[in-house]
Amino acid sequence: MSYVGAPFEHDIFVSYTHGDVSGDGESLLKQWSQSFARALGRELQTLPNFGSVDLFLDEGARQEQSVDPMAPLSEQLQQHVAKSAIVTALVSPQYLGSRWCEKERTWWSEHQVELQLPFDTRLALARIWPLGDRDTWPALFLDREGNPLVGFCFYDKANAELRPQPYEWPEVERNSKGPFRDELLNMVGWLRVKLNDLKARLAERERAREEAKKLSGGGQLLYLHCRADQLDSWGTVVAKLQQNDFAVMPSEPEVIDRDPAHQEERKRTRLQIMQGCDALLLLASADGRAVDADLVVIGRQERQLARAASKRLLPCALLDVVGQPIATAQRKGNARALQVDWIDGTAGSWVPDVQRWLVAKSASIGGAQ
């Protein structure tokens, strides 16, 4: 199981070329690359709370972190790289010319698109060999301006012409020090940040999906904000919502009170109730200025406070049981800008519109994640 969690099985996939020029299955480049991966894994394991980081290497020490020699290689690598959160590519001229490495990049990027997750910040490039003018960078390794990603350099740039081999050639030792160790720790720190960011993003996406399910599953708890001048409409609206299996809070309309202390106490109570609700409905007042105030104060300011405190989505809509003169194009435009939907409640059969609104919000929220 990966540190970042589902849908990923591996946190890091090490993409490298064996550089097998002689065809005997061995090479110094392969030897160095695999020792680099082991050093990277050791450093990650020493980080607090990172003991469960899963690093995949095609010839790893653990069976679940390496390929099965008795199974088709291409299918295995395709599955392993697709289920990896971050790809660490060991870039060299041999790597850029490898068809296998090209396939790994394609498999990974295509699957991230299917997962609807951005992947441009989940590539960790280790430049392990200087590149020549004829070496072409793959599109995946270019930024939006068409420039190669900076990555981390593991060879001596100042002496690259005479000494192109990476630091600690031909094998990274456990007690390696100097520039190799410094750059490795820089890379480990970058990976730590990216893995934590992705873990938080996935947790938030899962939370949002669970919240979205509540909006379409029926039996939602609605916060219905109403002013005292709409007391008659309040009773009718509540009755219709409850008849259709909605729970409605609070149990009475808003009370007008000029005392600042009482107003602040009512606000605290309002926020406490709102935090436990699935959605927020503003019952339109016959006073247009009061509607404007509710859109800004309740629909935006207090709703944001409730969302921040509860970590819930709390979609909001204005239920218009008044119609003209409050249903102006300008006011509806302001509502949209404040992310408050407008439901026409002037007709008798408006409850299905509330249900459709919640289902639509559920679909849009789930799809946006």
User: 154 and 16, same structural domain?
Assistant: yes
Which residues sit opposite 127 in a β-bridge? 91, 153
Domain for residue 4, yes or no? no
- Please answer whether residues 179 and 156 qualify as being in contact, where contact means their C-beta atoms are separated by less than 8 angstroms: yes
Residue finishing a domain among 208, 230, 258: 208
Rounded CA gap, 128 and 152, in Å? 8
Is residue 1 situated within a structural domain?
Answer: no
Boundary-marking domain end, from 208, 230, 259: 208
Provide mean pLDDT across the span 260-267.
89
- Is residue 3 domain-resident? no
> Do 174 and 287 sit in the same domain of this protein?
no
Q: How confident is the model at residue 19 (pLDDT cuts 50, 70, 90)?
A: confident
Span 293-334, pLDDT tens digits: 999 999 999 999 999 999 888 999 999 999 988 999 999 999
Report pLDDT digits (tens) over 164-200.
999 999 999 998 889 999 999 999 999 999 999 999 9
Which tokens in the block code for residue 91?
A: 């870039």
- Whether 182 and 224 share a structural domain: no
Q: Taking 80 as the threshold, does the pLDDT of residue 212 lie above it?
A: no
Shared domain for 285 and 303, answered yes or no, is yes
79 & 145 share domain = yes
- Predicted pLDDT at 23: 53
Residue 188: the pLDDT is 97
Confidence of residue 259 (pLDDT cuts 50, 70, 90): confident
pLDDT band for position 25 (cuts 50, 70, 90): low
Q: How far apart are CA 62 and CA 11, in angstroms?
A: 15
260, 325: one domain? yes
The count of domains in the chain is 2
In a domain, 2, yes or no: no
**Does residue 112 sit within a domain?**
yes
Q: Which domain does 41 fall in, by range?
A: 10-208
pLDDT of residue 69: 42
81 with 34, same domain?
yes
Q: Where residue 354 falls among pLDDT bands split at 50, 70, 90?
A: very high
pLDDT at 62: 41
CB atoms within 10 A of CB 304: 12
When the pLDDT of each residue in the chain is averaged and rounded to a whole number, the result is 89
Q: Whose structure tokens read 């938030």?
A: 204
pLDDT band at 345 (very low <50, low <70, confident <90, very high): very high
292 falls in which pLDDT band (50, 70, 90)?
A: very high
Range scoring the smallest mean pLDDT among 73-77, 162-166, 250-254, 282-286: 73-77
Same domain, 265 and 184: no
- In this prediction, residues 120-148 reach a mean pLDDT of 94
Q: Considering the domain boundaries, does residue 122 fall inside one?
A: yes
State yes or no: pLDDT of 31 exceeds 60: yes
**pLDDT value, residue 366:** 56
**What does the alpha-carbon distance between residue 80 and residue 367 come to, in Å, rounded to a whole number?**
26
Residues 161 and 186 in one domain: yes
Lowest mean pLDDT among 27-31, 56-60, 268-272: 56-60
pLDDT digits (tens, 9 = 90+) for 42-85: 999 999 888 789 999 987 444 444 444 434 356 888 999 999 99
Let me know if residue 5 belongs to a domain: no
Choice among 35-39, 108-112, 206-210 with the minimum mean pLDDT: 206-210
Position 21 scores a pLDDT of 54
Last residue within a domain, chosen from 208, 234, 250 = 208
227 and 313 assigned to the same domain: yes
User: Same domain for 326 and 234?
Assistant: yes
Decide if 98 is inside a domain: yes
Query: What integer pLDDT is reported at residue 87 of this predicted model?
Result: 97
Spell out the SS3 assignment of the chain: CCCCCCCCCEEEEEECCCCCCCCCCCCHHHHHHHHHHHHHHHHHHHCCCCCCCCEECCCCCCHHHCCCCCCCHHHHHHHHHHCEEEEEEEECHHHHCCHHHHHHHHHHHHHHHHHCCCCCCCEEEEECCCCCCCCCCCHHHECCCCCECCCEECCCHHHCCCCCCCCCCCCCCCCCCHHHHHHHHHHHHHHHHHHHHHHHHHHHHHHHHHHHHHHHCCCCEEEEECCHHHHHHHHHHHHHHHHCCCEEECCCCCCCCCCHHHHHHHHHHHHHHHHCCCEEEEECCCCHHHHHHHHHHHHHHHHHHHHHHHCCCCCEEEEECCCCCCCCHHHHHHHHHCCEEEEECCCCCCHHHHHHHHHHHHHHHHHHC
Q: Provide the pLDDT for residue 211.
A: 72
What CATH number did the domain enclosing 50 receive? 3.40.50.10140
Q: How far apart are CA 312 and CA 304, in angstroms?
A: 10
pLDDT band at 278 (very low <50, low <70, confident <90, very high): very high
The answer to whether residues 81 and 191 belong to one domain is yes
Report the CATH number that the domain containing residue 283 is assigned in CATH. 3.40.50.2300
